[in-house]
Structure 1
Amino acid sequence: MTSSSSCSSSAAAASASSSTCLNNNNPLLESWTAQPFSLPPFEKIEVDHFKPALEVGMEEHLKDLNGIVNNPDPPTFENVIVAYDRSGSIFDKVGGVFGNMCSSQNTPELQKIQTDMTPILSRYSSATYTLPGLFEKIQQVFENDQKGLSDEDRRLIERIHLDFTRAGAHFTAEKQKENADIQAKLASLITAFSQNVMKDEETYELVLKRDDLSGCPDSLIEAAKNAAEERNKEDDEYVITLSRSLVEPFLTFSDRRDLRKIAFEAWTTRGEMNPDRDNLKIATDILKLRQKQARLHGYKNFAEYQLVDRMAKTPEKVIELLENVWEKAKVSANQEREALEEFVKQSNDGKDDDDTHDIIENNLQAWDWRYYAEKVRIAKYDFDESLLKPYLSLDSVTNAVMAVSNKLFGLKYILREDITSYHESVKTYEVRNERDNDKLVALFLHDNYARPYKSGGAWMSEYRSQTKNLSDMAKEEYQGIPIVSNNNNFAKGRNTLLSFDDATTLFHEMGHAHHGMLSDCSYGRLSSTNVLRDFVELPSQLMEHWFEEPEVLKEYARHYETGEPVPDDLLNKMKTARSFNQGFATIEYTACALLDMLLHQVEDYDNFDISKFEREELDKVGMPQGVVMRHRPAHFLHLFASSGYAAGYYVYLWAEVLDADVYAAFEETGNVFDPNMAERVRKCVYSAGNTEAPDELFRKFRGRDPDIKYMLEKKSLVS
């Protein structure tokens, strides 16, 4: 299904809303103006629609680009750079739905399409960067006198030129082919890696009876029962899946050490459970190809290549930050382990208990840590986290984050129950700005529950990104309004109660959502989350701070049955206990970030054993006993399900330096909702996109470079 040759090759005429040349029987290619807010017609879209629609999108995009190349006028900012940024509207429209469905509703039928299309889409992407004559025109504009252009215009030229050079547009034809082959192979491997993890998470289940759930709070028992019902188990059975919102609470509260071990070992071996789904081999093949890619560009290793376009700039700067935190956190984690082991000894009280005896003789194991940490937290701080969960229902936390959004930025969220989404549990909101005559700002899709065929973890994505660079016809359909989605994987129950960490995750993803919803950029390439990777986590992690504010918790943390606010005594205990176990949490993360950097600095992967490398490198840096990496290589989706966070998992810690410093600016005013500070952070963080270099945006906000001390204080790692 392709457009006829009579279709115009211009970007404006390529808009799906105007094209009468395209197949109107495919809902992905039809105009969506009849839909509320031009949302995708989810109820009409079938899996078989994607392949032909993507083919049309690719063909029309290449026509757009050829139109730029064949324009006889001298290359200018408008007829090359602006036209390039505006090109490919049909592909963006179709690809936005396809990419999101491959994460949120990836049925076996769609996985087949994804597997088939992945190398095709990769080669299409390579073709857009190596189209004869296109880079030459971009290069001319890049070298032209840019007098009369705005700073944002110049930034767009710089970023597009860099995109092309990093994609090999300046290579010889032979090297371009080699690079395209590498990218196509990488795309297929990355897809297989992701699908393998999803399959392990989808198929694994620890089936239990009620007596096996000794020590587990009612909210976890209810969620395990719901998981069993979804899997058609017997009436007296319960299921623990590999969803983090089920397995982590089970490891925290279950009295059964044998079952904790089974659950933990399954959780930490995702991606290597079945020899037919060997993600360790796939990860190694990905590393080899990334090394070839880096060498093509003249770098020793992939980490060097990746970090050129990051705030950190070099692997050495990243390692310096990670080691600074690692050594401090290692001391804390070892002290925490000793405290847990001492608790086990003291609580044994002379009893002949096999589990206790084993811990005393052989040290605390990874499946013990969360369980005994919770016991010590209760004993030392009189804080039982399970008593907090009834005040953190999903509805309450959602109300809290939307209220924070309103107080900071004037956004209000109107639930549209009349709008059909891609799954019955997804809620759709129209988002309006009360401070601008209720102007429509965005459409927001909230997809909160774990389910089969949905990727694990939590993420923000977009079906449509903010841009002002639209043709008149495209404006009619797109309206310049972004469609932003948040995905979480909470365990669904009659009353979905969140842990404090889960609630923090919801705030985190809403921080990303604000980056998309508040974006105010002229060009799509610079808008929303299209920023340097070690800046992209600043908006998300910054939003987390407001959840911990007592005034927010007192107002919105209300008991799901009685509506009573969370007691002051419980909040005070929680605040006192928050620094507890920070060494463990920091080590769990930092080990992943260190291994990521080390993996991507290897210069020879011949006979490479990734599991052996993991063991040896963690031994070298002194991995504390009883702690395991939060993401082991076979299921490390950040590294091997895309390239964005490869040699880049450090970005969460880098951004934590930034977010702690930014939030300190709010605290220094004496009002964490200070309106002037909120407006500054909107302009410099949430709305600015990539219109300026991130270090400049930070200096605009803070008046100086970031200071690490605020992050160290937050983590209780200050000497």
Structure 2
Amino acid sequence: MADTSNPFFSPSTLPYGLPPFAEIRDEHYRPAFERGFAEQLAEVDAIVATDASPTFENTMLPLERSGQVLQRVAEVFFNKSSSDSTDFTNALEEEIAPQLAAHSDAIRLNPRLYERIADLHARLDELGLDAESRYLVERYYAEFTLAGAGLDEAGKERLRGYNQQLSTLTTRFEKNLLADTNDLAVVFDTAEELAGLGEGELSAAAQAAAERGLEGKYVVTLVLPTGHPWLADLTNRASRERIMAASRSRGIRGGDNDNRDLVLEITRLRAERARLLGFDTHAAYVTADETARTPEAVADMLGRLAPAAARNARTEQADLQRQLPDGENVEAWDWAHLTGKVRAEKFDVDFAAMRPYFEAERVLRDGVFYAATRLYGITFTERPDLVAYHPEARVFEVRNEDGSGLGLYILDLYTRDSKRGGAWMNPLTAQSDLLDTPTAVVNNLNVPKPAAGEPTLLTYDETNTLFHEFGHALHGLFARVTYPKFAGTNVFRDFVEFPSQVNEMWMLWPEVLENYAVHYVTGERMPQDLVDRLHAAEGFNEGFATSEYLAAALLDQAWHRITADDEVTDVAAFEADALAAVGLDNPAVPPRYASTYFAHTFSGGYDAGYYSYIWSEVLDADTVEWFRENGGLLRENGDRFRNRLLGVGGSKDPLEAYRDFRGRDAEIEPLLKRRGLDN
């Protein structure tokens, strides 16, 4: 194959470096990975082959310039494998994952490269570097050291083995989960079994059935978390139980897609690797390079929140119990449905009745985009002339207030069997001055797609998720850095959720809600009294929401605080003991994710880091207070937040950036008040 025939071998000439998806074929990926691996290793060899003493210019700059072919193919391939997988991508990912781990080790464990970085780090005060360049040396030195660069050769060989095994196992976990999630989609014979769903939801269920060759039936596809959003509306208790049972049985049914042995093997290998690297546990290894610094700091915070959350959940459960006949108890599949009834009684708020006001296109243009325009001055223009990786993915050009180009935003809204569960943001290209690269980011959601001609009506949670994921997109679009290492959302994992959580506030901000919450049939705006009742109910059910999240976060910590000497043989027993130990073993409030479908921690890069959401929420709640104190949705507020926080990407310590924005460290009290944990 001639070099010019592979679109990954040279930078894209499309606007903002958008990959040329119309030209990319399956046969292009493997050669591009192979060339990418070889080229970057040659570039690193050239750095360490020089006899010249280490300088920033002859070590750090060529290291930052290295690996561009590999970066291009990896961004496109892993976006495709998560959002539009095929048998080919599944097979190639299993093949490539250990090769990527080996490639990363070949660089990070290169002793001569580490010596050069360590030399620069030891002489930092003599180098006369600007703040971002100095931080680059500091980050490389810290990361290489934690990655095992200081081990002897025997230790490095063991480490390489661990890394390659783990990359293979975590990839297999994800593939098993996707397959089992698809297999466990729940088939219903009649619409009566799905009583309570709206026309759009029924249409989506019928469409999902038709795509499986089940004309006349209805299929409820599963979402990533334990609870399904439709459980709130379904009046048939048996149907709710079937959906919950399917959700909770992922990865534990035996056969090829059973994830229990993978959970045990992954956690064992992570514990052994941590000990090799000088840490007692994998949690200690991970948090050493996060803002938390230690698992004890994480345990202290989560332990402070868990008892109050569990107490509040039990109080809420007592309210729900009164909705059931004598002799029946609140079960996990009842919670969302009964909560809707109690919410309607106490606050006269019915989330199902709100869906006609959350038509997807209106939410996107007059809600998400509108808030960003008001706050940051940026504008959005759809570019149907630009081809994305899937026909349902839409491309928008984003411009600054002065008309200058900012980047591309791609939205892939709908669920499909080839897409993994959940919602996320991916970069396709990321800005850096050194490489003169632009920005293109993707938001993926999993909204059920109605039949042709039917409106897409979002749930309250799906609307919130769109605002949340767009916060990640803004972080990626706004970052303006010199070095690729700091591009976009390349920040500490327990900080990365902060900008996205902040963006959620605009969903219910009065000027924003008034602009987009319009009934899709009548054109009437959401009544103000409903908005007022919605605000009054904001703290409602927080005991459940906090408990299910904390149960997952503490379960993640428990798996990763085992030592290499601990022997765990039973996943279910370990889960039960871990939840009982923190008082979150309420059967009616299962963890947001159980171990065998906990993609965040066993395949998604949040291992020992799922605590990050609530850790970041401390900053988020404190930031919301700042916006309220300073007038809310104002351009000057947006400029401050953009310039001092979002715009710095990963180019400075995130807590230092927060202090620069807020004028002080974050305080926890706003979070405790928000979640009803302050009393």
Amino acid at match of 2:659: R
In 2, the alpha carbon distance for the partners of 1:626 and 1:253 equals: 18
TM-score by length of 2: 0.96
CA distance in 2, matches of 1:38, 1:520: 16
* Conserved? CA contact 2:226–2:592, under 8 Å: no
**Corresponding position: 1:568 with 2:528:** yes
SS of alignment partner, residue 666 of structure 2: coil
Number of the residue aligned with 1:352: none
In structure 2, the residue matched to 1:28 is 8
Query: Could you tell me whether the CA contact under 8 Å between 2:227 and 2:592 is conserved in 1?
Result: no
Q: Is the 8 A contact 2:363 2:517 kept in 1?
A: yes
Match of 1:212 in 2: 193
- Map of 1:422 onto structure 2: 389
Contact 2:494 2:615 in 1 (8 A): yes
For 2:615 and 2:516, how far apart are their aligned partners in 1?
31
Shift of 1:300: 0.7
Aligned residue in 1 for 2:204 = 223
Aligned to 2:556: 596
Measured after TM superposition, the shift of residue 42 of structure 1 is 1.1
* 531-540 or 688-697, which deviates more: 688-697
- 1:238-257 correspondence to structure 2 within 5 Å: 238-243=218-223, 248-257=228-237
Distance (Å, rounded) in 2 between the aligned partners of 1:116 and 1:321: 40
Please give the secondary structure, in 2, of the residue aligned with 1:56.
helix
Contact 2:16 2:439 in 1 (8 A): no
Give yes or no for the alignment of 1:483 onto 2:440. yes
Task: Return the match for 1:45 from 24, 29, 32.
Answer: 24
1:313 to 287, 293, 318: 293
- Amino acid of the structure 2 residue aligned with 1:210: A
Distance 1:255 1:407 in 2: 41
- CA distance, structure 2, for counterparts of residue 122 and residue 48 of structure 1: 22
Amino acid at match of 1:52: P
Measured in 2, the distance between the counterparts of 1:146 and 1:97 equals 40
Deviation at 1:320, TM superposition (A): 1.3
Match of 2:370 in 1: 403
| Preserved CA contact (<8 Å) 1:146 1:154 | no
The CA deviation at 1:283 is: 1.1
Structure-2 residue corresponding to 1:109: 88
- Structure 1 equivalent of residue 142 of structure 2: 162
Preserved contact between residue 251 and residue 260 of structure 1 (Cα < 8 Å): yes
Matched, 1:507 2:476: no
Q: For the structure 1 residues 375 and 716, does the alpha-carbon distance in structure 2 shift closer, same or farther, using more than 3 Å as the test?
A: same
Task: Determine if contact 2:303/2:582 at 8 Å carries over to the other structure.
Answer: no
Q: With structure 1 as the length reference, what TM-score do the two structures score?
A: 0.91
CA shift digits 1:218-243 (9 cap, x unpaired): 23222212222222212x31111113
Contact 1:246–1:491 (8 Å) recurs in 2: no
Equivalent pair of 2:8/2:69 in contact (CA under 8 Å)? no
Contact 1:364–1:625 under 8 Å retained in 2: no
For 1:419, the aligned partner's letter is: L
Equivalent residue letter for 1:82:
L
Q: Provide the residue aligned with 1:372 in structure 2.
A: 338
Corresponding position of 1:386: 352
Query: What is residue 545 of structure 2 aligned with on the other side?
Result: 585
Q: Distance in 1 between matches of 2:139 and 2:131?
A: 12
1:79-478 mapped onto 2 (5 Å cutoff): 79-144=58-123, 145-208=125-188, 209-234=190-215, 236-243=216-223, 248-344=228-324, 356-359=325-328, 363-399=329-365, 400-434=367-401, 437-470=402-435, 475=436
Asked if the contact 2:313/2:543 (under 8 Å) is kept, the reply is: yes
Q: Is the 8 A contact 2:17 2:438 kept in 1?
A: no
Q: 1:157 to 1:232 in 2, by over 3 A?
A: same
Is 1:636 the equivalent of 2:598? yes
Q: CA deviation at 1:625?
A: 4.2
Shift of 1:562: 2.7
Question: More deviation in 145-154 or 114-123?
Answer: 145-154
1:57-116 deviations in Å (ceiling 9; x for gaps): 111111111111123332101111121111111111111111111111111111011111
Report the CA distance shift for 1:152/1:37 in structure 2 as closer, same or farther (over 3 A): closer
Give the match for residue 606 of structure 2.
645
SS in 1 for 2:3: coil
Is the Cα–Cα contact under 8 Å of residues 220 and 249 in structure 1 kept in the other structure?
no
Match of 1:562, SS state, is: coil
Q: 1:649 Cα shift?
A: 0.6
Shift of 1:246: 12
> Is contact 1:433-1:439 (8 Å) kept?
yes
Unaligned runs of 5+ in 2: none
Q: Is the 8 A contact 1:241 1:247 kept in 2?
A: no
Q: CA RMSD in A?
A: 1.6
1:49-64 aligned at under 5 Å gives the runs 49-64=28-43
Equivalents in 1 of 2:86, 2:577: separation in Å? Answer: 38
Whether 1:617 aligns to 2:617 is no
Gap change, CA 1:246 and 1:44, over 3 Å in 2: farther
**Structure 2 partner of 1:545:** 505
Of residues 214-223 and 370-379 in structure 1, the stretch that sits farther from structure 2 once superposed is 214-223
Query: Secondary structure in 1 aligned to 2:665?
Result: coil
Query: Structure 1's 31 and 586: CA in aligned 2 closer, same or farther, altered over 3 A?
Result: closer
Residues 63-82 of structure 1 mapped to structure 2, 5 A cutoff:
63-82=42-61
Matches within 5 A, 1:506-525: 506-525=466-485
Q: Quick one: structure 1 residues 72 and 605, their matched pair in 2 at CA, closer, same or farther if it must change by over 3 Å?
A: same
1:245: Cα distance to partner? Answer: 9.9
Give the letter for the 2:343 counterpart. R
CA distance in 2, matches of 1:293, 1:607: 17
Per the TM alignment, residue 426 of structure 1 is displaced from its structure 2 partner at its CA by: 0.3
Q: Secondary structure at the match of 1:629?
A: coil
Distance 1:67-1:244 versus aligned 2 partners, 3 A rule: closer
- 1:345-370 per-residue CA deviation (whole Å, 9 max, x = no partner) reads xxxxxxxxxxx4441xxx21111111
Task: State the one-letter code of the partner of 1:379.
Answer: E
1:674-685 superposed matches below 5 A: 674-685=634-645
Paired AA for residue 417 in structure 1: P
Deviation string, structure 1 residues 532-567 (Cα, Å, up to 9, x no partner): 111111100000011121221111111122322111
Per-residue Cα deviation, 1:360-385 (whole angstroms, up to 9, x for no partner)? xxx21111111111111112221111
Query: Is the Cα–Cα contact under 8 Å of residues 422 and 446 in structure 2 kept in the other structure?
Result: yes
Q: Is the 8 A contact 1:465 1:528 kept in 2?
A: yes
* Aligned-partner SS, 2:650: coil
User: SS at the partner of 1:367?
Assistant: coil
Q: Which amino acid aligns with 2:334?
A: D
Q: Please give the per-residue CA displacement for 1:115-169, whole angstroms capped at 9, x wherever unaligned.
A: 1121112111111112342111111111124442111111000001112112211
1:271 deviates by 2.1
Task: Using the aligned pairs only, state the percent identity.
Answer: 37
Where structure 1 has 5 or more consecutive residues not aligned to the other structure, the ranges are: 2-21, 345-355
Tell me the amino acid that sits aligned with residue 466 of structure 1.
Q
Distance 1:25 1:340 in 2: 63
SS of structure 1 residue aligned to 2:442: strand
Partners of 2:171 and 2:484 lie apart in 1 by 26
Amino acid at match of 1:491: P
Give me the whole-angstrom Cα distance separating, in 2, the residues matched to 1:577 and 1:207. Answer: 34
Match of 1:702 among 652, 656, 662: 662
Q: Tell me which amino acid in the other structure corresponds to 1:423.
A: H
For the residues of structure 1 that align with 2:659 and 2:209, how far apart are their CA atoms?
Answer: 52
Counterpart in 1 of 2:458? 498
SS of residue in 1 equivalent to 2:22: helix
Shift of 1:340: 0.6
CA drift of 1:460 comes to 0.6
